[in-house]
Chains A and B, each alone.
Chain A
Amino acid sequence: MPECLTVTIYVNGNAAVVPVGSVVSVAMLAAGVPCRLSVSGESRTALCGMGICFECRAIVDGVAHQRTCQLLCREGMRVETQA
């Protein structure tokens, strides 16, 4: 059976409920927000999914440049699109 345990995190201020074990970049995809804006202002989301490309970096609990595809969601975590 699929996992039913969930955690709640805050994506750009809005609550998002995701299954336990979800990575942060996935919560951002589900919320429809980019992980970061590129130097010319394009919206970017995860590309490689394995911590190599740095496209998924975002601000997590106030700390910038976090690779959100390698980071599991924790209860109450606050993540923001990195401009």
Chain B
Amino acid sequence: MTRRVEVLVVGAGPAGIAAATAAARHGRDTIVIDDNAAAGGQIWRDGVRRDHGNYDAVKLKVLAALQSSGARILSNRRVVDAPAQGVLQAVVESPEGIKAESFAWDRLILATGARERFLPFPGWTLPGVFGAGGLQALVKGGYDVAGKRVVVAGTGPLLLAAAAHLREYGAKIVTIAEQAPLRKLLPFAASLWSSPAKMLQGARYRASLGSASYRTGCWPLAADGEAWVRAVRLTDGRRTWSEPCDLLACGFHLVPNTELAALLGCSFRDDFIVVDSEQKTTVANVFCVGEPTGIAGLDAALVQGKIAGLIAAGESHKASELYKRRDKELAFAHRLESAFRLREELRSLAAPDTIVCRCEDVRLSQLQGRASWTEAKLATRCGMGPCQGRICGPAVQTLFNWRPTSVRPPIFPIPIGVFSNEDSSNSYESEIHQEIS
């Protein structure tokens, strides 16, 4: 089944919602497809407990605008391929099973968001070790952290947001270990004076953390425990200590989800998708908004999305009125990047037997001495499991400076038979067909 649509948006986070709303309001037939159960992306993921954090005023306003815009939201869809010019293929999972869907589009807006960067260190595969945003998402999904001692570690503004959220749910935040040194964070904090909303948000997070210590220039060396994490070894570069805990929430800022853009042939600058002032990529009629164009946060995502939606609807004059605000928000990306740049020491946390590729259990010693990721993949299957290198890719890039190799469909693993209406088997097409590029 192929659906024809004027504007197809991939991703229902803030950027995608803003894009879809703008396009639909200006009369374009618009569909948003999204991998999650509900619109909102990671930042506005709904929680099980309605008494916590679901009444974010911006979220409610933006979601209400989407609802009234006429755009259709199709959840639980994963885009897996772009089989022909102007066509995307997705799979939808439901209690009845998994089936394929195709979308033929005139304008395509990529709003695929970002994921956390994970860096391997001894013990990072232990149960009880989560991403910072990861643990936050699980708590929204019903995980009870009341009374649990949590160490939050890594880097980026997400650490504070996650810690504040966990504390709201009753967790005891033992410490927040931010790897960035204070001398880089101070200019960043000072620069927020020009963005009162961000300043206020940061202050709220900090205030809500009470007595929890926020240590800068401090990073995790190892997670210790047998079946579950018991303690985290932290260092500030001079001394090392062990911090007992029940949970470790650890992430090293964000990396963009660019697999679909890469599959479509969009040009990159470093790790990000190149867009012009109208949010157009280098591929005709394909736009990109939000984190894949640079990690700049919520406000940038909303304005970029609106610009792309307006341009896709032919409203270039209205869009141009937003450029100044967008460019100001993008400057925030550069400040984030320089404030939270990874310190050199993080590249040598993993021990020879530390697992780097969690899908295939490939250890650091198996990767050392390889010339490239392609060679490492061939020899070890690093990055060839179901996550297709989404987790170990950014890690090996940090550890070895290996660049990602080209993307091949399906960009998410799918059971064999989905596209031939046969009974789905449990084997993964990508595990069998993914080739080395």
Q: Number of A-B pairs whose CB atoms are under 8 Å?
A: 123
Query: In whole Å, how far is B212's beta carbon from the nearest beta carbon of chain A?
Result: 21
Question: Which of A21, A46, A54, A70 interacts with B36 by CB under 8 Å?
Answer: A70
Interface string of B375-418 (1 = CB under 8 A from A): 00000000001110011000000000000000000000101000
A54 to B388, CA, bound (A): 10
Q: Which residue of A lies closest to B130 (CB)?
A: A47
- Cβ contact within 8 Å between A21 and B130: no
Looking at B47, B141, B355, the one whose CB has the most chain A CB atoms below 10 A away is B141
A38 to B134, CA, bound (A): 19
A46 and B130 contact, Cβ closer than 8 Å, known pairs A1-B51, A54-B385: yes
Looking at B95, B116, B134, the one whose CB has the most chain A CB atoms below 10 A away is B134
- Cβ contact within 8 Å between A23 and B138: yes
A2 to B49, CA, bound (A): 6
- Cβ contact within 8 Å between A65 and B142: no
- Cβ contact within 8 Å between B386 and A48: no
Interface string of A36-50 (1 = CB under 8 A from B): 001110111111111
Whether B241 sits at the interface, judged by CB under 8 Å, is no
- Cβ contact within 8 Å between A25 and B48: no
Question: Which of B35, B95, B413, B415 interacts with A70 by CB under 8 Å?
Answer: B35
Q: B227 contacts which chain A residues (CB < 8 A)? A: 43
Interface string of B39-58 (1 = CB under 8 A from A): 00010011111110000000
- Cβ contact within 8 Å between A20 and B48: yes
Near A by CB (< 8 A), chain B positions 76-93 give 76
Q: A64 contacts which chain B residues (CB < 8 A)? A: 426
A74 to B94, CA, bound (A): 11
Query: In whole Å, how far is B134's beta carbon from the nearest beta carbon of chain A?
Result: 4
- Cβ contact within 8 Å between A53 and B138: no
Whether B137 sits at the interface, judged by CB under 8 Å, is yes
Chain B, interface size: which category? 35 or more
Question: Which of B115, B143, B415 interacts with A26 by CB under 8 Å?
Answer: B143
Whether B8 sits at the interface, judged by CB under 8 Å, is no
Q: A3 contacts which chain B residues (CB < 8 A)? A: 48-50
- Cβ contact within 8 Å between B36 and A51: yes
Query: In whole Å, how far is B433's beta carbon from the nearest beta carbon of chain A?
Result: 16
A69 to B136, CA, bound (A): 12
- Cβ contact within 8 Å between B134 and A50: yes
Query: In whole Å, how far is B422's beta carbon from the nearest beta carbon of chain A?
Result: 15
- Cβ contact within 8 Å between A69 and B118: no
A55 to B76, CA, bound (A): 18
Q: B131 contacts which chain A residues (CB < 8 A)? A: 47-49
Near A by CB (< 8 A), chain B positions 129-185 give 129-131, 133-138, 141-144
A52 and B387 contact, Cβ closer than 8 Å, known pairs A34-B127, A44-B127, A47-B134: yes
A15 to B45, CA, bound (A): 27
- Cβ contact within 8 Å between A53 and B426: no
Q: Which residue of B lies closest to A22 (CB)?
A: B142
A52 and B115 contact, Cβ closer than 8 Å, known pairs A44-B125, A64-B426, A65-B386: yes
Whether B230 sits at the interface, judged by CB under 8 Å, is no
Q: A42 contacts which chain B residues (CB < 8 A)? A: 125, 355, 361
A25 and B138 contact, Cβ closer than 8 Å, known pairs A52-B391, A54-B387: yes
- Cβ contact within 8 Å between B428 and A23: no
- Cβ contact within 8 Å between B50 and A39: no
Query: In whole Å, how far is A2's beta carbon from the nearest beta carbon of chain B?
Result: 5
Looking at B50, B118, B138, B361, the one whose CB has the most chain A CB atoms below 10 A away is B138
A65 and B428 contact, Cβ closer than 8 Å, known pairs A29-B138, A74-B95: yes
Whether B37 sits at the interface, judged by CB under 8 Å, is yes
Question: Which of A22, A49, A65, A74 interacts with B134 by CB under 8 Å?
Answer: A49
Question: Which of B48, B135, B257, B386 interacts with A49 by CB under 8 Å?
Answer: B135
Q: A2-B51, A65-B415 are in contact. List 13 more A-B contacts (CB 8 A).
A: A3-B49, A18-B142, A22-B141, A47-B134, A48-B116, A48-B118, A48-B134, A48-B391, A49-B130, A50-B42, A51-B36, A52-B115, A54-B413
List 24 A–B pairs whose Cβ atoms lie within 8 Å, in order of A's numbering.
A3-B49, A19-B49, A19-B142, A20-B48, A21-B142, A22-B48, A26-B138, A26-B141, A30-B144, A42-B125, A42-B361, A44-B127, A46-B134, A48-B137, A48-B391, A49-B131, A49-B138, A49-B141, A53-B118, A53-B387, A53-B390, A54-B387, A65-B386, A70-B36
Interface residues of A (CB under 8 A from B): 1-3, 18-23, 25-27, 29-30, 34, 38-40, 42-55, 57, 63-65, 69-70, 72, 74
